A and B are shown apart, each in its own frame.
Chain A
Amino acid sequence: MLFNSYEFIFFFLPITFGIYFWLNKKRLTSASKGWMVFASLFFYSWWNVIYLPLILGSILFNFTVGSSITHINTTHLLKKRLSSKSLLTFGIFANVLLLVYFKYMDFFITNANTFAGTHFNMMHIVLPLGISFFTFTQIAYLVDAYRNEVKEMDYLNYTLFVTFFPHLLAGPILHHKEMMPQFDDIRNKVLNTKNISAGMYLFAIGLFKKVVIADTFAIWASYGYNHTASISLMSAWATSLSYTFQLYFDFSGYTDMALAVALLFNIKLPINFNSPYKALNIQDFWRRWHMTLSRFLRDYIYIPLGGNRGGEFRTYSNLFTVFLVGGLWHGASWMFVIWGALHGVAIVTHRLWQQMGLKMNTMLAWFITFNFINITWIFFRAKGWDDAVNILSGMFGLNGIEEVSDLLEFGGLSTIDLFMMGVVFILGISTFFTPNSNQLVSSLRLTNKSMVFGLFLMCMGVLHLSKISTFLYFNF
């Protein structure tokens, strides 16, 4: 189920919320946890129940491994640490294997067929929902258990931590230690009207960002990426910028909704976006974009690789590796690897620049950073190398410059759509100057003005859940 759906907003959320707090009010705290797990699994299985056993199996496996590690760590002497380490290795290996099987198998097969001349058949495995997220969350848990940072011996609690529906499908990627104390805190089991109002407000912002802003940019972005052949200057820029904004509003809007929904249940999830396009350098960008993934990669890949403790060269190679892995985590394609590599190179360059003690004008720094991000998103989005190169050549004027009227006809939008596109484009640009949703919520004052603003965003959001799809195919 998606947050941006009628089913979620009008049925699933009110029912889950109502029963959860009713059970808590009756002091049936285990039942309320059980209800939350049930609701989350229902949420997960909404489209396709086929992967329910998979996620349950993964949870049971990781719980068993994690609690065994904890058990060994707490009850045995130091010499037994070895077996907890091998258990951890086995656990991580199994998780990675699961991810590789479901996410990367066809990618490996294609590459083997291409480079080694083999003739394996593609397996056409359908990617189980959220597998990248729940696998990473659980790898983090295993490592934390090994480091004695968590001790979870209760299966229900553990299942709740992994499946809690607000973060299940699209993150943020959580740590056990930042979640479970909140679930166990008795004060969080009663309705908190302050959290509810903030949650509703944040949900409205997130919904609007996702379905009104991102989905409008998506029209132009997908039209452009589907018609890259000889794309001219302005259309190419419109296409790449549309995708850059689409991706931000889509992902951060969705995360806003996740944070908002969790807040209704008095759970504070970590923020995941902090105005990334305001970043002044690439390192700054990665501290603001998909922050929980960056945190994961830092804590569980970069630092275990040795971080910056192995000398300059080792540091650079570690940074680069982290970005390659980060790239591939996004999907099984060379384009993601290229994208990761470009960011890896940028991070290394930035570090070198810093080491040399050089400074840069703020505006110029922002300009370079934003354009670098915008250009690298092309590799992230394009279906293949050729499409990416086409868009880039268009942006650098190699395919000529079109009339403004041609640009307006690009994508075959109706007059009203063009108007909406204009409005949304202004909203997109405004992200550079206005506070982001986290700031809006933390400065929320419960006035009529904020209520009307939230109401407007909410209603516009709901009214954009179902679209009359316009056919961008005018050559009939």
Chain B
Amino acid sequence: MKPIPWILKFILLSILTLSIVGSINFILDPLQQYRKAHFYKPIYDNERYLNPGLAKTYEYNQVIIGSSMTENFILSDAKEILGFNKPIKFCMSGATAYEIKIMLDSAYQHRKIDSVIYGVDLFSFTGETTRLFDGEGSLPFYLYDNNRLNDYRYLLSFDTLKFFVDSFVLPKPEVMFDLNRMYQWQHKSNEDDFNGTDRLDEWSEKYGFNPDYSKSEFTLKALKANIDTNLIPLIQNHPETTFYLFYPPYSILAFKDMENKGWLNTVELFKRHLLTQLAHYPNVKIYDFQASKEVTCNLDNYKDLLHYHQRINRWMLEEMKKENYLTSDKGKFGRLNRSLISNIHGCGIQ
């Protein structure tokens, strides 16, 4: 063959092949960026990619958002207990405060949101204020904006096709297809995994509860900066939304570990800062479930030193309704904080 026809064929067929793959990805749209799935049962997986799609294509009035501490909430529980009518979850495993802000900003562009349940996981607030959980490039910003032109990254991607095949062709547990239980991890563990004896073993082996976090990252400066940049503006800009902020009840062993690492004071100052910054906003409720002896001291609630059983998620919704753990003023704040400290030594766990 002469070079010119070879070159032309190469270029034209490349363009053709890429257009075909792009069109297939557009039609399959496994991450529901353009429309709600209708000819297949969608899977709720790969949160950072699926969330911005759902934000555009699903109907919702309430949002549950946060790290793995929020992934086990069941939407029907939120309807039943808090009277939500159209809730959705935009949780992200290992979510950072920045990622949560990006996600909520995106959701606000598409829908009116009357309530947000926001899991204030301390670890979400560590590090830089633009920290992404899995490093640079791990959040597909091109799906979070309103610009369709940059979606070629989604369409011209073999991974999009792979995601379709992997999710819909290969067998997966039924619960992953259930919108009501979207993103939950409860089913990945056995009931036996929630076991106090194992937790004590884990503790006695001095297995730091989260070795990924070094002491230097857990600084008050970083925690405060994340509150100021990634949380407060959301609340300021959306007075129409009620924010249910809550501190997830890690096991008491996690707090013992924090005490050993000298972090407890930082935790208190972090919470105090959040309260002082937000006390005068009528659209915020802050719940401190870390003060709850009945949850944190019962190690059978935990599958590791941080992560609690799904029943605790339901319990938290009930407690939000009852407002027992609401830290509305400095007096209430002090009482809750004192009970957290006294639990560390008063649970009868040595």
Contacts and interface: CB of A to CB of B under 8 A. Distances in A.
Check if A and B associate: yes
B156 A465 contact: yes
Contacts of B160: 468
Given A6-B156, A469-B137, A476-B68, A451 B10 contact: yes
Interface string B135-155: 001101000000000001110
Nearest to A466: B153
B313 to A, nearest CB: 14
A416 B167 CA distance: 10
B7 A476 contact: no
Q: How large is the interface on B (under 10, 10 to 19, 20 to 34, 35 or more residues)?
A: 35 or more
B123 to A, nearest CB: 12
Contacts of A420: 162
B156 A463 contact: yes
Contacts, number: 100
Given A6-B152, A6-B156, A200-B10, A476 B93 contact: yes
B59 interface: no
B308 to A, nearest CB: 12
Contact of A416 (B3, B93, B166): B166
A464 B159 CA distance: 7
B152 A446 contact: no
Contacts of B7: 193, 196-197, 200
Interface of B: 1-4, 6-7, 9-11, 13-14, 17-18, 21, 46, 49, 68, 71, 93-94, 133-134, 137-138, 140, 152-154, 156-163, 165-166, 170, 185, 304, 307
Contacts of A196: 3, 7
Contacts of B3: 193-194, 196-197, 446
A386 B17 CA distance: 47
Nearest to B185: A476
| SS class, residues of chain A in contact with chain B | helix
Given A462-B18, A471-B134, 17 more contacts: A194-B3, A200-B10, A415-B166, A446-B6, A447-B1, A454-B10, A459-B21, A462-B14, A462-B156, A463-B161, A466-B153, A467-B157, A468-B49, A468-B160, A469-B137, A471-B93, A476-B93
B178 to A, nearest CB: 18
26 contacts: A6-B152, A193-B3, A193-B4, A200-B10, A200-B11, A446-B6, A450-B6, A451-B6, A451-B9, A454-B10, A455-B17, A459-B14, A462-B14, A464-B157, A466-B154, A466-B156, A467-B157, A468-B140, A468-B159, A468-B160, A468-B163, A471-B93, A473-B133, A476-B68, A476-B71, A476-B185
List of 5 A-B pairs having minimum Cβ-Cβ separation, nearest first = A193-B3, A463-B158, A466-B153, A468-B159, A476-B68
Q: How large is the interface on A (under 10, 10 to 19, 20 to 34, 35 or more residues)?
A: 20 to 34
B59 to A, nearest CB: 25
Interface string A119-146: 0000000000000000000000000000
A469 B185 contact: no
Contacts of B304: 475
A448 interface: yes
Contacts of A451: 1, 6, 9-10, 13
